[in-house]
Amino acid sequence: MLRRLTLILLLCTFTFLVNAQVITSPDKNFTLKFELADGGVPTYQLTYKKKPVIKESKLGLELKDAPSMMNVFTVSKTEQNSVNNTWEPILGEQKTIRNNYNELLVTLNQKDQKDRHIRIRFRLFNDGLGFRYEFPEQKELNYFIIKEENTEFNLAGDHKIWWIPGDYDTNEYAYTTSKISEIPGLMKKATIDVHAQWPIKTTAVQTPSMMKSSDGIYINIHEAALINYPAMNLNVDPKTFKFSSHLTPDAMGNKGYIQTDFNTPWRTIVVSDDATDILESKLILNLNEPTKYKDVSWIKPVKYIGVWWEYFVAGKSTWAYGTETNVKLTDDFSKLTPNGRHGATNENVKKHIDFAAKHGFDAVLVEGWNIGWEDWFGNWKEEVFDFVTPYPDFDVKELNAYAKSKGVRIMMHHETSASATNYERRLKDAFEFMQENGYNSVKTGYVGKIIPRGEHHDSQWMVNHYIHVAETAADYKIMVNSHEAVRPTGVHRTYPNWFSQESARGTEFEAMGGLAPEHATILPFTRLMGGPMDYTPGIFQTDLSYYNTGGNQRVNTTLVKQLAYYVTMYSPLQMAADLPENYERFPDAFQFIKDVAVDWDNTWVQEAEPGDYVTIARKAKGKNEWYVGGITDENARTATVRFDYLPKGKNYIATIYADAKDASWNKNPQKYTIRKVLVNSKSVLKQPIAPGGGVAVSIKEGSKQDMKGLKKL
């Protein structure tokens, strides 16, 4: 009897060892363990420097009208691989990106389901883990519907977390900072009113989800390569600190329609004991596929101004041309009653073109140029815009010829009012119109509830729609900047003409209730983990009562913090969002916006703490120019700016834009100082930053004459 029990124990131990697989990251700091738990349930664990990050967590999917893929698995095959190479992004924060990981590929069989099988692929980098499910083409698994993906992230403690509520339709919430256990009690307050929102009824948060453990481990959970699949939210168990995937459903309540062979998006976990490493991580980009575009020469960075901010402040102008509130695309819009405040007029657009040309901007965004704005909002209307017919006071050919004569392009605007069906029907006509009239970039918008009705902004159908728009735009050599779209997951590597997105609470909300001073110190750790953001910075007139509208609304930053955003908020598309006349009032500060690059050779995150501060230095693409941006929350602090990335043995001219001593986000926000000093690779700047303020630095080469009389830092 004893020998029999011993044999059984040995067999159990052998089975455990066979099912368990362990790999480490190239630098040995991470360890991933995969094994089948009781009942053939796939699980994984992740440790960092021998500290638990993800405790034993289950993997699998529930299918609709089919047996689940959660258990009764056996391991039929395992493979390991290592990769260490580099690649160059079309546009980016650095010229060269290293792709270095160790990989484990596990093939799992369900023999009781006629040998149905899936693969789980893990890639362990020096900055974290990515893994996905893969469904090979097979006789017993061709088509299936996902009821829910049940990927778990069983966290090791009650971490501090920067979060927004889980939602199927909007990511434009303000961030809340709390412990995981405190989320349920704060959810009602956090779920502020946002148009077309669809909050998840159970306790859930959105990704990217940023956390910090009590012992100083930073953890970021998101996804990479979101294609033909719904976006992932995270269910939260506030007692066990376990997160689990919660996919966005469609109008039928289903989560995804799959045909093999198929790979899900990657689930990503970026980890470090240094917050700067989180911001420097390129794990999400590395998990996306290289572009298949053969010609990318037409994809260029863009710095632009626009007929835009005037719609939000001053009551100065409107998108709509007429006073009527019930219009059809078949109406004769020349017979509407002009409201007298239409913004997209020939005269106003020419004024913006002149300003852009004078100050070296690439483009002018014009919103409200096309018919349909009289009743576009809130009506769930399908035939809302046609994207090719201008209002009577906007001459397409005249204005594009005028812009061309000035060396400037006009940026197209396609607001869809969330009627994706209407946009898809008209998409090729719209892009042909753009191509014929000299437009090479478009800002798309999806304000409202999605049509087809019942779909969500983040559902599989809409994810495919955004990709379809990007691919179709590429056929016409058009670059896309999407607003109100699904949050990015690094797919701008694969579709580099989809070169920026909004997909978070951006500057426009400064005119609609305001943003907390800490907001922009959180975004780099959350929204920007997935890709570039069209944050639309550069607001100089921060006290909006200046426009005599009777309100006391303000932009909750100093003027200098707005300058710093051009470095801390990465995007190859950057807007100088304020009114041209406000820049003319502060020409010395405006110089930084004119100078700053939007495409980079290298980036150094110098100091960072989510919700508190961020300081970043970058080298301009192909130039011996460097730029630094530092921002803080509502608290004053001293930023430490190093220059050790400069070539050794040479002095450079640093122009330092700083908050004045008595400045703050709510008092004297427009007070600043500008000084020039000499710096070299050994220099260190200790720069005080005002509450809600920032610091911006440009570093350039100079002649002996330029440097004459300048002091060393």
CB within 8 Å of 482: residues ≥ 6 apart: 443, 444, 445, 446, 466, 469, 498, 500, 501, 502, 503
- Residue 161: name the closest of 224, 225, 204 by CA: 204
Q: Let me know: does 560 contact 657? Beta carbons within 8 Å.
A: yes
Q: What residue ranges in 405-467 does DSSP mark as E strands?
A: 409-415, 441-445
Collapsing DSSP to helix, strand or coil, 563 comes out as: helix
Per residue, the 3-state secondary structure of 477-527, as one string, reads CCEEEEECCCCCCCCCCCCCCEEEECCCCCHHHHHCCCCCCCHHHHHHHCH
CA distances from 713 to 354, 614, 661, 682 (A): 38, 22, 19, 10
The answer to whether 432 is a known catalytic residue is no
Order of strands, sheet of 694-700, starting from the edge strand that comes earlier in the sequence: 600-609, 613-620, 625-632, 694-700, 652-659, 672-679
CB within 8 Å of 190: residues ≥ 6 apart: 163, 164, 165, 173, 174, 176
Find tokens 């980079």 and name the residue. 600
Cα 146–Cα 148–Cα 154 angle in degrees, nearest 5: 140
> What are 525's two structure tokens?
């750790």
**Kind of pairing, strands 209-212 and 242-247?**
unpaired
Read off the amino acid at residue 541: Q
CB within 8 Å of 83: residues ≥ 6 apart: 99, 100, 101, 103
Helix residue ranges, H only, 101-212: 183-190
- Dmax over CA atoms of the chain, in Å, equals 98
Q: Is the peptide bond before 208 cis (omega within 30 degrees of 0)?
A: yes
Q: Let me know: does 542 contact 581? Beta carbons within 8 Å.
A: no
How far is the C-alpha of 216 from the C-alpha of 452, rounded, in Å?
Answer: 45
Crossing angle of the two packed helices 559-568 and 587-595, in degrees rounded to 10: 0
CA distances from 570 to 68, 279, 489, 579, 600 (A): 42, 11, 15, 22, 10
Q: Let me know: does 272 contact 212? Beta carbons within 8 Å.
A: no
Residue from 508, 518, 607, 625 carrying the catalytic annotation: 508
CA distances from 117 to 61, 134, 142 (A): 12, 9, 11
Strand-pairing partners, residue 122, are 104, 131
**Kind of pairing, strands 409-415 and 441-445?**
parallel
What is the signed CA dihedral for 590, 594, 600, 605, rounded to 10 degrees? -10
Categorise residue 536: left if φ over 0, alpha if ψ from -120 to 50, beta otherwise.
left
How far is the C-alpha of 600 from the C-alpha of 93, rounded, in Å?
Answer: 5
Q: Let me know: does 314 contact 298? Beta carbons within 8 Å.
A: no
How far is the C-alpha of 165 from the C-alpha of 150, rounded, in Å?
Answer: 19
How far is the C-alpha of 372 from the C-alpha of 388, rounded, in Å?
Answer: 11
- Residue 153: name the closest of 98, 230, 205 by CA: 205
Active-site residue numbers? 508
